Structure formats: structure tokens, C-alpha cells
Amino acid sequence: MFAIVDIQGQQFKVEKDQELYVHRMNEQAEGDSITLNDVLLVDNNGKVKIGTPKVKGASISAKVLEHTKGDKIIVFKKKRRKGYKVKNGHRQQFTKIQIEEINA
């Protein structure tokens, strides 16, 4: 059984006991349980429910495991022969969640 869910503007294919990184959820503390109601599709062993745009009555319960940062990304800009160079770094903030149950 799997589902496609919209979490903070991104779509994820999720299954039970799967761990995934989503954009930072600042309002949730580590160890909290959350309910995701934006379920777009549910597949239960070949029986597919497609939402228009959301599946009615479907929800996903998940648990917040930790808040973390991603790998460092180097942003380097240069214009040749002008003496212009800018180097910046960036680390995206993520929340690691674990899918506990899919309710269809």
C-alpha cells in the first residue's frame, strides 16, 4: 500500500515505515505526531483511489524524528574580465519524518 501526499508544496510517494526529509516544519517539535490530510492518491494492492484534487477521508499519520540541515551548497558567481567574484554557501533546513500509518 502506498500513497501520494502533498507536504508543504511538494509531492511524495510514501509507504508505511518510510523515512523521508521534507522542508522544515518549525511548528512541530521532535517526537510529535502529525496528520497529513492532503492525500492525492491511494493504492491499496491494485485498488486505486484518485482524488479530485484530494481523496476524501484519507489521511496519513507521521512522526517527526528530527530537525536537521542538508549538505552545503556552494553558490559561485563570476563575470570574466571584470574582477567580479562572489562566493556564498547555503544549507537547506529539513525535517525528518517517519510514516506510521496510511488511512484510506
**Per-residue pLDDT reduced to its tens digit, 25-64:** 999 999 999 999 999 999 999 999 999 999 999 999 999 9
Supply the pLDDT for residue 76: 98
DSSP states along the chain: -EEEEEETTEEEEEETT-EEEEE--TTSPTT-EEEE--EEEEEETTEEEE-SSS-TT-EEEEEEEEEEEEEEEEEEEEETTTTEEEEEEEEEEEEEEEEEEEE-
Q: What is the tally of structural domains in the chain?
A: 1
Residue 75 is part of which domain span? 2-103
Summary mean pLDDT of the chain: 95
| pTM for this prediction | 0.83
The predicted structure's pLDDT at residue 104: 81
Contacts of residue 4, Cβ cutoff 8 Å, sequence gap at least 6: 11, 12, 13, 14, 39, 40, 41
